[in-house]
Amino acid sequence: MKIPRDVQRRARRSPLSCAPRPTSYAPMSATPVPAPPPVLVAAAVIIERGRVLLTQRKAGAHLEGAWEFPGGKVEADEDPRDALIRELREEIGVEAQVGDIVEVTYHRYPKKPVLLLFYAAALAEGSPAPAALDVAAVRWAEAADLRDELFPPADVAVLAKVRARLAAT
pLDDT for 64-88, tens place per residue?
A: 999 999 999 999 999 999 999 999 9
User: Is 19 domain-assigned?
Assistant: no
Report the amino acid identity of residue 99. Answer: G
Residue spans of alpha helices (H) in the chain? 5-13, 80-92, 153-168
* 54 occurs within a structural domain: yes
How many beta carbons lie within 10 A of that of residue 19, not counting itself? 10
Sign, CA torsion 147/150/156/161 = negative
Q: Residue 81's domain is classified under what CATH number?
A: 3.90.79.10
3-state secondary structure of 79: coil
Residue 128, class by beta-carbon neighbours within 10 Å (0-12 exposed, 13-18 middle, 19+ buried)?
exposed
Give per-residue pLDDT as tens, 9-57. Answer: 555 555 554 445 555 555 666 677 777 899 999 999 999 999 999 999 9
Task: Identify whether 104 is part of a domain.
Answer: yes
Residue 18 counted as domain residue: no
Q: Which domain holds residue 108?
A: 36-168
pLDDT in tens, 153-169: 999 999 999 999 999 88
- Could you read off the pLDDT of 109-132 as tens digits, one per residue? 988 999 999 999 999 999 999 999
In 3-state terms, what secondary structure has residue 13? helix
Give the model's pLDDT for residue 86.
Answer: 98
Our count of domains for the chain comes to 1
For residue 32, what pLDDT is reported?
Answer: 77
Which of 80, 70, 167 lies closest to 122, judged by CA? Answer: 70
**Domain-located, residue 24:** no
Q: What is the pTM of this model?
A: 0.79
In a domain, 14, yes or no: no
Which of 41, 39, 40, 37 is CA-nearest to residue 21? 37
Look at residue 20 and tell me if it is in a domain. Answer: no
- Asked if the structure places residue 97 within a domain, the reply is yes
Q: Which of 116, 102, 87, 111 is nearest to 14 (CA)?
A: 116
User: pLDDT digits over 135-157, tens only?
Assistant: 999 999 999 999 999 999 999 99
